[in-house]
Amino acid sequence: MSHSPIRKDKTCLNCRHVVEQKYCPNCGQENTDSRKTFHHLFVHFFEDLTHYENAFWKTIRNLLFKPATLTKEYLSGKRLSYLAPVRLYIFISFITFLMIALFPSHVTENLQKSEKDITTNLIKQDKKGIEAFKKNTHFELRTMKEVDSIQKYGKPSEKYTDFEYWVYEKVVHVTENNTKAEIIEKFIESFVHNIPKILFIIMPFFAFFLWIFHDKKKWYYFDHGIFTLHYFSFLLLIFLILFIIQKITDLLGSGFGFIADITNFVGILWMSYYFYPAHHRFYGESRIVSFIKSVFLFFINSFFIVFLLTFYVFYIFINLH
């Protein structure tokens, strides 16, 4: 709650109504000084996101350990005691990607080290051995000059289609201008920065598949949308917790790695199981019907997500510079 001093002027800055106490009885705006320090701005930002401490921790507790409770409470009209679904998702997303930005992956460093080790070992071999190694471990791409020559003078069976030619040109451009480590580094950076976009694309489809599998008269698409927001918030929150534990154990040393292994196992197991009890409790169907639907929905959404991610990986690759 804000600790800013109450204005001496009793006129609401928003609606000009007379304010006898802290909040305007007409519009609800707090009658405090509108000019605030950066500290107040920062605190106010988190207060708005978390909707005060009690509501925040109550929401997180139910989200983690009581599948579907938040969705049922929200749709029943009990909304002031919890964070709103959209606000909850935005808050968890913000913290998750902030942590990822502050503690980036060491994949690129490991790749560069591996490449250096390989190069050092190769230098110790004779020239013939090196050439043989390269021949057996690298796929040789044609240059665009060679491809253009095939397109112009080659046999019809050797020529590329317009789409194949466009893809090949992109691949050659990327591989000629980037090392393997640089390609992976740029890909990871782009992928992490665009995860919110991917999730926002997936969520409407996830809710749509729920809509298909349930009674259209009893459940509106809006209901499935709220369920989806809470489910995806749960997945992000588990990912965030596992990420933080992994970074802490990394700082403590290799002797504490087993803690991360255990929490990862438990977290992934809970993530995999969570959808079933959430689905059963929210939609109120029998356990066997809920289980069958959960399995079908899992495979349908998994196929769709893999397809979307494959397309996105291809999109990132061809747009690397």
pLDDT of residue 222: 94
Instruction: Give the integer Cα–Cα distance in Å for 309 and 11.
Output: 54
Average pLDDT of the chain is: 79
Instruction: Give the integer Cα–Cα distance in Å for 91 and 99.
Output: 12
* Cβ(219)–Cβ(211) below 8 Å: yes
Residue stretches of the chain with pLDDT short of 50: 1, 107-112, 114-116, 118-119, 122-123, 125-127, 130, 133-134, 136-138
Cβ-based burial of 106 (10 A; exposed 0-12, middle 13-18, buried ≥19): exposed
* Cβ(309)–Cβ(198) below 8 Å: yes
pLDDT of residue 291: 93
Retrieve residue 167's tokens.
Answer: 């893809």
Phi and psi (nearest 5°) for 208? Answer: -65, -45
* Cβ(6)–Cβ(32) below 8 Å: yes
Retrieve residue 134's tokens.
Answer: 């390269």
pLDDT of residue 104: 64
pLDDT of residue 37: 58
